[in-house]
Amino acid sequence: MAPARIVLIADVEEGRLDPAVWELAAMASAAADEADRDVRWMVLGHEASSVGGQLAAKTGCAVTVVSLPPAAAPTGALWSEILRPILDDWQPDLVGMLHTTRFQDCAAALALALDAAWIAAVQGVYRQVPTNDLVFQRTVMGGRMTAEIETGGRPAVITVLPGYFPYEDRETAPAAIEMRTVPLPASRIRLVAVGAADCEPALKQAETIVAAGRGIGSPENLALVERLAACFPRSALAGSRIVCDAGWLAPNRQVGVTGASVAPKLYIACGISGAHQHVGGMQGAELVVAINRDSRAAIFNHADIGVVADLEVFLPLLIEALEKEEMATD
Amino acid sequence: MKMLACIKFVPDSDDAALPVKPTNTAGAWDWEAAAGRMNRYDEYALEASLQLKAVRAASRIDALTVGAERAQAVLRRALGMGADHGVHIVRTGQGLPSPFTIAGLIAAYAKARDYDLILCGAMSEDLMQGQVGPIVAGLLNRPCLTSVHALDGSAGRAGLRCERDAQGGRRETLEIDLPAVVTVQSGGMPPRYPALSKMLRANQYPLERIAAEALHGIEARQRVVAVGAPAKERRVQFLDGSADEKAHRLAALLRARGRI
Ligand SMILES: Cc1cc2nc3c(=O)[nH]c(=O)nc-3n(C[C@H](O)[C@H](O)[C@H](O)COP(=O)(O)OP(=O)(O)OC[C@H]3O[C@@H](n4cnc5c(N)ncnc54)[C@H](O)[C@@H]3O)c2cc1C
Ligand SMILES: Nc1ncnc2c1ncn2[C@@H]1O[C@H](COP(=O)(O)O)[C@@H](O)[C@H]1O
């Protein structure tokens, strides 16, 4: 049998790689044995050659760099136009890229062009015995269930969720780098402006973060969460996207893939379901406490201490217990 | 501007009757017993189309759903919110459908109907994949922007200006040529609540019904072969006792760990 042809795609942002990109290499290792695969990287962007060198040196896989003029604004539409003919030439069995908005914009077009499937937000890959077919794993229902997906032998384009394929550095012989220039295709999407990330500095500095989810029920109940936060030194208040979108908390207090990434010593999730977009921003916390009235909530898979309770009842009791203990030891 | 808003009937995640395990030994899953509602992101998508309609003369919004008989509830609600017409592609079948199947049906319906803009939600809350919109775009050869939360249609006929949160909280502003597909994320204008008078009218409105088999869809390309419980990233220790006992245990644990 011919070795599995795997293409990993990375894009360059302000001369840098997304730090999660190494996980694509770990995904490729999960998908096929080293002896049995032909893995190559495609890197797109302005000034991508040094980044291409990093990929070749660290992963030992061949790299093709598509260098674009600075005027070529990165968009999924552009990536799709550039990648389609190249991938059509290589006919890969598996194409892996990160599950970012830009790759979500173009993954379907690439899959259709390759007559491939597209599986989104992939969290696991394994080979089935005895068929040797790949099985892809992803979560559904707010993270409460996983689904296993097969393509029946069809090639697959997958967008990979960061945080699920731990990558370990190892010694390899650096691989070859090929430089390509491509004529810049017309694009039906134009990037007009990019605004810097706006994250509340207190979130980065806090040792304890108390995070409110939709389960707090109403903005009035935020006072409870605030009082809870006040029980801890160097603490800050954060929220899920639903809470920030509703205007209950400022947008710069949102934790998650489209908000802040935080790594406090203690993270208390109050009424948060545990969708992967939220978990992606708090996985680095040292100790995670989850309070939720639904014992089946996915957040409990990401917590060290779990409390199944109604917040309106439990938070006043917890605040009282924390305040009382403080008095007792003073 | 002629718009198509794609709206999914999804299980109510708060309903205790919702199964979160396979519902048969073959690993299949169905949620007949649980309540359903409009996918939240689709409420935002519909709201975005209603806002565009308000600034663009002679606009029309068709709301479309693919699903079983009871899915038509979301079309009634869409009409109540202000959509002009409801299209029900009737599709029965258990399990988790391939996004290619759903997108194939939507594209087959939309193909000859010249929509300037097709709107989907950023993802369905049950499948959490965000694929149907981009696949519809691919099938119809339209440009696609995912997860936008603000759409500005005042720029003229040719395009739309969209805003979205990119990775790491950065904000992008992009322009997309029409005809196009966008998927809508929460965070823009909060979806309106349907007025009672409009709901009463919506309940009388004749829906356009089409059997899925009557449309030329596409192959599924991928198949959910099993559902199950997710892996535990951390080993959770559940506290037990009354609410008050749990509160004291938690306080003691946090103190022991030096967190207060
Ligand atoms: C492209 C994209 C990007 C996203 N980025 C982010 C992001 O950066 N950050 C983010 O947070 N989300 C993000 N999301 C949204 C994410 O998918 C979830 O919708 C969101 O995290 C859910 O917020 P939640 O947990 O507060 O609400 P829900 O999912 O509605 O959960 C509420 C929880 O509260 C519990 N509850 C209800 N009442 C009570 C009570 N009285 N007592 C105790 N518990 C109660 C319920 O059991 C439930 O588990 C993104 C989504 C998309 C599509
Ligand atoms: N059965 C359906 N009927 C109508 N629209 C759908 C259906 N399934 C998905 N969609 C649309 O596609 C979006 C993304 O769904 P998904 O790809 O399943 O995450 C949803 O927010 C809807 O706008």
| C-beta of residue B62 within 8 angstroms of C-beta of residue B118 | no
Q: Tell me which of A114, A118, A137, A242 to substitute to probe the interface with B (most B C-beta atoms closer than 10 Å).
A: A118
ipTM of the complex: 0.95
Residues in chain A: 330
| Arithmetic mean of pLDDT, A66-89 | 91
Q: Which of B31, B74, B120 to mutate to test the pocket of ligand 2 (most atoms within 8 A of CB)?
A: B120
Residue A95 confidence (pLDDT): 98
Is residue B235 in a domain?
no
Residue A329 confidence (pLDDT): 54
B187 vs A contacts (CB less than 8 Å): 241, 244-245, 251
More confident residue, B158 or A282: A282
* Per-residue model confidence as pLDDT tens for chain B (260 residues): 999 999 999 999 999 999 988 888 887 888 989 999 999 999 999 999 999 999 988 899 999 999 999 999 999 999 999 999 999 999 988 779 999 999 999 999 999 999 999 999 999 999 999 999 999 999 999 999 999 999 998 866 678 999 998 877 789 999 999 999 999 999 988 999 998 999 999 999 999 999 999 999 999 999 999 999 998 889 999 999 999 999 999 999 999 998 88
Average pLDDT in chain A: 93
Least CB–CB distance from A197: residue in B169, B176, B222: B169
Residue B169 confidence (pLDDT): 76
B244 vs A contacts (CB less than 8 Å): 317, 321
Residue A196 confidence (pLDDT): 84
Residue B170 confidence (pLDDT): 84
| C-beta of residue B165 within 8 angstroms of C-beta of residue A189 | no
Contacting B residues, span 181-200, partner chain A, CB-CB under 8 Å = 186-187, 190
Distance A81 CA to ligand 1 centre (A): 35
- Is pLDDT above 60 for A81? yes
Is residue B229 in a domain?
no
* Cα distance between residue B44 and residue A258, in whole Å: 17
Instruction: Calculate how close chain B gets to A4, using CA atoms only, in Å.
Output: 19
The ligand that comes nearest to the alpha carbon of residue B74 is 2
- Is pLDDT above 60 for A104? yes
B227 touches chain A (CB under 8 A): yes
A54 touches chain B (CB under 8 A): no
| Arithmetic mean of pLDDT, A272-297 | 96
Distance A246 CA to ligand 1 centre (A): 12
Pairs of residues, one from chain A and one from chain B, whose beta carbons lie less than 8 Å apart: 263
Is residue B226 in a domain?
no
Residue B232 confidence (pLDDT): 87
| Arithmetic mean of pLDDT, A9-16 | 89
Per the structure, the complete domain to which residue B172 belongs is given by: 2-214
* Cα distance between residue A135 and residue A171, in whole Å: 29
Residues framing ligand 1 (Cβ under 6 A): A 142, 213-215, 217, 240-243, 254-259, 271-273, 275, 277-278, 281, 292-294, 297, 310-312; B 122-123, 147, 185
Nearest chain B residue (CA) to A295: B238
B174 touches chain A (CB under 8 A): yes
Ligand 2 pocket check for B146: Cβ under 6 Å: no
Give strand ranges (E) for A240-315. Answer: 266-270, 287-292, 305-308
Is residue B238 in a domain?
no
* Cα distance between residue A168 and residue B35, in whole Å: 45
Is-above-0.90 flag for pTM?
yes
Distance A274 CA to ligand 1 centre (A): 7
Ligand 2 pocket check for B66: Cβ under 6 Å: yes
Handedness of CA B181, B184, B189, B190 (dihedral sign): positive
Contacting A residues, span 116-135, partner chain B, CB-CB under 8 Å = 116-121, 124, 135
- In this complex, do A321 and B225 lie within 8 Å of one another by their Cβ atoms? no
Ligand 2 pocket check for B101: Cβ under 6 Å: no
| Arithmetic mean of pLDDT, A4-24 | 92
Name the residue among A316, A207, A54 with its Cα closest to residue B259.
Answer: A207
Nearest chain A residue (CA) to B141: A109
Q: A159-195 b/e with 16+ CB inside 10 Å = b?
A: bbbbbbbebeeeeeeebebeeeeeeeeebbbbbeeee
Number of domains composing chain B: 1
Is residue B234 in a domain?
no
- In this complex, do A140 and B126 lie within 8 Å of one another by their Cβ atoms? yes
CATH code of the domain in which B112 resides: 3.40.50.620
B57 touches chain A (CB under 8 A): no
Is residue B91 in a domain?
yes
3-class SS at A25?
Answer: helix
- Is pLDDT above 90 for A1? no
- In this complex, do B130 and A120 lie within 8 Å of one another by their Cβ atoms? yes
Q: Which of A225-234, A281-290, A304-313, B24-33 has the lowest mean pLDDT?
A: B24-33
Instruction: Calculate how close chain A gets to B181, using CA atoms only, in Å.
Output: 10
CA-closest residue to ligand 1 atom 37 = A215
- Is pLDDT above 60 for A330? no
Name the residue among A281, A120, A139, A124 with its Cα closest to residue B230.
Answer: A139
A214 vs B contacts (CB less than 8 Å): none
Residue A89 CB contacts under 8 Å (≥ 6 apart), including other chains: none
Residue A328 confidence (pLDDT): 58
Query: What amino acid is encoded at A243 in this protein?
Result: V
Is residue B159 in a domain?
yes
Least CB–CB distance from A194: residue in B144, B170, B224: B170
Distance A247 CA to ligand 1 centre (A): 14
Query: What amino acid is encoded at B89 in this protein?
Result: I
Is residue B174 in a domain?
yes
Structure tokens at B88: 């029900």
Phi/psi at A177 (5° precision): -120, 130
**Looking up tokens 């947008």, which residue turns up?**
A251
* Cα distance between residue A246 and residue A243, in whole Å: 5
* Cα distance between residue B164 and residue B14, in whole Å: 28
B127 touches chain A (CB under 8 A): yes
Residue by residue, DSSP assigns A116-142 as -EEEEEE-EEEEPTTT--EEEEEEEGG
pLDDT digits (tens, 9 = 90+) for A220-229: 999 999 999 9
